[in-house]
Amino acid sequence: MSRTLDILLFGPPGAGKGTQAAALAARHGIPHVSTGDLFRKNLKEQTPVGLVARGFMDRGLLVPDEIVCDMVRLRLEEDEAAAGSLLDGFPRTLPQADALEGMLRRLGRRIDHVLFFDAEDEVLVERIAGRLSCSGCGAAFHRTFAPPRTQGVCDHCGRNGLSVRSDDNAETVGARLLEYRAKTTPLLARWQGSDTLHVINAGRPIAEVERALALAVPARAEA
Ligand code: AP5
Ligand code: MG
């Protein structure tokens, strides 16, 4: 049994990666590393990385590889990630995948599982159009499919401030889907046909997707 565990959540915008990530990471005792969340944190703190990233995020474009890879490398070198990581939204390009493999190799690790969240474009657009995000902890809700228990209040951190993400608008969503098709889907070929890849039908309700993920990657004690 591997002593470390590195899992990738891979898939288009709005597929539900972030929704599943926290519980999945907790289940496996590894930190949730979302590059989108890291950029939004940098943006909130007005760091140089955040200010550069904003120009790309606001247009639905991918942030340049070098910036993303440096940010992830620093995160993976933290003690908290010594036992592994749940990478959400990284890698998204072939150079990012090469860089990740190099980072993990230097740490004596490898990608153990790629969970591909597969969903139709209409599902993605409907989910993004109804998404509400917590400005405190980043948790995602949906006006129809996953409303908060109390309107406007985050179930997870209790903050009163659910809002629409600045890149969740019709124009940017189109650009994000195009970027995904052009730059991210080619990555699938790298894992196709290997035991590492698990294709998850992410078009189903949240609880069903959660069950499919648990079956794909059983908790280590159960493995
Ligand atoms: P990022 O934050 O990663 O956004 P994304 O990949 O576009 O994905 P989303 O966060 O939109 O979707 P998700 O799959 O997490 O869905 P969620 O769980 O929220 O990236 C933002 C930007 O940062 C990028 O555009 C880029 O500019 C930059 N960036 C980030 N990483 C980068 C990288 N590696 N390289 C370069 N640039 C990078 O769910 C969506 C909605 O659906 C929610 O409302 C939720 O409640 C609902 N929902 C979830 N699951 C279900 C379900 N099963 N049934 C019904 N509703 C559901
Ligand atoms: Mg997300």
Please determine, for residue 223, whether its predicted confidence score (pLDDT) is greater than 80: no
Express each pLDDT in 159-186 by its tens digit: 998 999 999 998 899 999 999 999 999 9
Amino acid letter at 32?
A: H
Cβ-proximal residues to 210 (8 Å cutoff; 6+ apart), any chain = 20, 23
Pick from 65, 66, 70, 127 the residue to mutate for probing ligand 1's pocket: most ligand atoms within 8 Å of its CB.
127
Query: Which of the residues 27, 73, 165, 183 is marked catalytic?
Result: 165
What is the distance, to the nearest Å, from the Cα of residue 187 to the centroid of all Cα atoms in its chain? Answer: 15
- 220 as an active site residue: the answer is no
Output the pLDDT for position 89.
97
Amino acid letter at 17?
A: K
Quick one: which of 223, 201, 207 has its CA closest to 5? Answer: 223
Please, what are the domains in the chain?
Answer: 5-120+196-216 (3.40.50.300)
Neighbours of ion ligand 2 (CB under 5 A): 18
Q: Which ligand is nearest to the CA of 15?
A: 1
Binning pLDDT at 50, 70 and 90, where does residue 1 land? very low
Output the pLDDT for position 22.
92
pTM for this entry: 0.96
Q: Which atom of ligand 1 is nearest to 132's Cα?
A: 44
